[in-house]
Amino acid sequence: TRAIETWRRHAMELVSKMLEAVHDLERWEPGTDKWEAAAMMVGRRRYQHALDELESLIVAWIFELSKVNLTAIKSAIDRYNLTADSMIPPKINLSWEEVIEYTFLSDFDLLREGQEDIRGEIWASPAGCVAMDQHFKLLHADEEIIRLNIELQRLVTYMTDKEGFLVHHKTRLRAEGEDTLAYQVQVHQMERSRFNAQHMERLVKLSKEAGFSGSITAGVS
């Protein structure tokens, strides 16, 4: 029937293609053009893989996207250099000293040889880096304000408690007849008082700024 004939014809075509592929493989021997072309393709793929791995680690490190293990970067550099040496012609090698000097992705010239040159992306430019930093700082600004308000009152409480501590022991030492020690405590107290006064002056100015939501009153220690 027509269906059987169609199936037979397709089967014959498939067998023919498979035989052709087998014969083609038999001609792939070291030294032949196809063998060399395949070897170069495999080498290029290994090089690209090593470069992509190194690229991802450097991107994460530069943008502080994660706690990148520096040992992982060193290992990636070693793997990259190994594949770079096997390329024809050999590719440029990288050293750890060079990598740690990178500030922006635009400094990393090897990225142009990656599967995708990301150096031209907006987020990879110095201005893009600054914009992203500002963006994420704004996202966490409310959290930072809450934390700073807590630390601010802790600072005022510490200064107040320390002042009271020194005054108490200066008075105690004088009452016990330890005038020399009392004098040394007084000198230390006066020095700290000057610094505390400067800090409080700045904190008072800060408390008058629009939007200030903290407190410059000492808490309970």
**What is the tens place of the pLDDT at every residue in 74-104?**
888 888 888 888 877 787 787 877 776 665 5
Q: Are residues 106 and 155 in the same domain?
A: no
The pLDDT value recorded for residue 20 is 65
Residue 18 covered by a domain: no
Does residue 89 sit in helix, strand or coil? Answer: coil
Average pLDDT over residues 164-175: 92
Is 68 among the domain residues? yes
pLDDT tens digits, 188-219: 999 999 999 999 999 999 999 998 998 989 88
Q: How many distinct structural domains can be found in the chain?
A: 2
- Both 91 and 168 in one domain: the answer is no
**Same domain as 53, residue 116:** yes
Kindly give, in sequence order, each residue whose CB lies less than 8 Å from that of residue 122, ignoring residues fewer than 6 positions away.
Answer: 128
Statement to judge: residues 103 and 175 lie in one domain: no
Q: Is the pLDDT of residue 66 over 60?
A: no
Query: Is 190 within a domain?
Result: yes
pLDDT digits (tens, 9 = 90+) for 182-193: 999 999 999 999
Dihedral sign, CA of 166, 168, 169, 175?
positive
Please tell me the predicted confidence (pLDDT) of residue 130: 73
The beta-carbon contacts of 166-172 under 8 Å, at least 24 apart in sequence, are 166/192
Whether 132 maps to a domain, the answer reads no
In a domain, 159, yes or no: yes
- 52 plus 102 within the same structural domain: yes
In which domain, by residue range, is 58 found?
31-123
Whether 53 is in a domain gets the answer yes
CA distance 94 to 107: 13
Q: Which of 91, 123, 155 is the last residue of a domain?
A: 123
Q: Choose between 62 and 137: higher pLDDT.
A: 137
Nearest to 130 by CA among 62, 76, 193: 62
Domain shared by 74 and 107, yes or no: yes
Would you state the pLDDT for residue 14?
Answer: 79
Indicate if 117 and 178 belong to the same structural domain: no
Residue 215 lies in a domain: no
**Smallest Cα–Cα separation from 110: which of 126, 97, 94?**
94
